[in-house]
Every structure is written in C-alpha cells, then in structure tokens.
Amino acid sequence: MEQNQEKEWVARARRGDRGAVACLVDRYEREIFTYLFRMTRNVEDARDLTQEVFIKVFRKISGFRGDSGFRTWLYRVATNHALNFLKRRPPAASDVPLTYLSDPALSAAVALERRDMASHVTRAVQALPRRQKAVVVLRVQEGLTYAEIARVLDCSVGNCKAAYHNAVKRLREILKNEAIL
C-alpha cells in the first residue's frame, strides 16, 4: 500500500505538485540525512548534502522513469554526492566521536562494552576506501539488498558482494591491528 502511495506521490511530483514533493521529503529526509551523516560524520555537512540531494532529485524528477524505485534513486544521488564530497574532503579524526543511544534493556556493563565496540568499529569504517564504506553502510545500516546497492553504485551485484566481503575483512584487520579484537 505504502508503495502505491509513493508511486502516486512521485507521479504528482513529476507534474509539479508541491504537496507531493513535501510528502516525499517528509518521508525520506531523516533516512537520507542519517545515511549522509554516517558517510561524512559531520552534522552540517550531512545537512547541506541532504538538501542538495533533494533539490537535485526534484529538479530532475521529470527524467525519472521509475525503473528502480524512488528510494533507490535517492540513495544513488546521495551516494554520488557523498563520494564526491569525501574525495574533496576525507573525514577528520575529530569528526568521529559519537553519542550512542543506549538500550535500557541492557545491563550497564554490557551497554558500555557494546558502545566501546561500536565506537571502535565506527572509526574503523571511516578508514575504509570510499566505495567500500558506502557498501558497508548501505548494506548493514541502511538495509539495502545487494541488487539495490548495485543500482545505487552502478556496478554488478557480484562487484558489490566482493566489495562488501573485502570491507568486512578489512574492518577485522584494522580492529585486530588496534588490538580491539
């Protein structure tokens, strides 16, 4: 049902309906911002990029043929923006420290341990090459399938899988070298 509603919004947005554009921004701005934050580790950069992505997407929406779904298309534009941005400005070490939401069901000790692990892993993810990082974030955090990631990154499914596998192995290497594992 949601899918149909979205298709209708996209169709209306293509005809220039501002209400439909607002609905689509509403539905996806948090998700895209979070993704871009994970890629850049900086709130201001993620916000600016998110705005650019939505403006670009809606300026070009008349050329969108819906072959791969609106969400995938958004991720594609967002990923291109993020990769270009990271090429110009790799994340600084100071961008990395983070706040984590704590799960109240966990005991304090376990929560602390997990948080530590998460911050180490997060730092390690930042050290990955840009495209590998995008694959890991899209797969693990954003929950995209390999097929979707392939469309986002404009590569084959096999290529995506290989990039994901290499990224995971590399993450483990980094964490082992830092004596985290």
Partner 1 sequence: MKPSCETFQDLIIAVSQGEPIEEGERKALEIHLRACPECRAFQRDLPGILEGIKEDSPPSLPEGFFEEMKASILGELAKRRSSSPWRRAVKALFGRFEGRGILVPALSGLCGLLVGMALATAWMRTPSSPASVRSSANRLAAVSLESLPVNDSTVCLGVVEDYMGVSEFFDALSDQDIQALTSDLSGDFPDPDQEEMGSETG
Interface with partner 1 (CB under 8 A) = 15-18, 21-22, 25-26, 29-30, 33-34, 37-38, 43, 47, 50-51, 54-55, 58-60, 62-63, 98-101, 114-115, 117-118, 120-122, 125, 136-137, 139-141, 164-165, 168-169, 171-172, 175, 181
- Nearest distance in Å: CB 117, partner 1: 5
- Which one, 1 or 101, has the nearer CB to partner 1? 101
Three-point CA angle 71, 17, 8, nearest 5°? 45
- Nearest distance in Å: CB 2, partner 1: 19
- Which one, 1 or 44, has the nearer CB to partner 1? 44
- Nearest distance in Å: CB 17, partner 1: 6
- Which one, 1 or 99, has the nearer CB to partner 1? 99
Q: For the residues of the chain, what is the DSSP string, one character each? A: -HHHHHHHHHHHHHTT-HHHHHHHHHHHHHHHHHHHHHHH--HHHHHHHHHHHHHHHHHSGGG---SS-HHHHHHHHHHHHHHHHHHHSPPPGGG-----PPPTTS-HHHHHHHHHHHHHHHHHHHTS-HHHHHHHIIIIIS---HHHHHHHHTS-HHHHHHHHHHHHHHHHHHHHHTT--
- Which one, 25 or 155, has the nearer CB to partner 1? 25
- Which one, 1 or 162, has the nearer CB to partner 1? 162
- Nearest distance in Å: CB 173, partner 1: 10
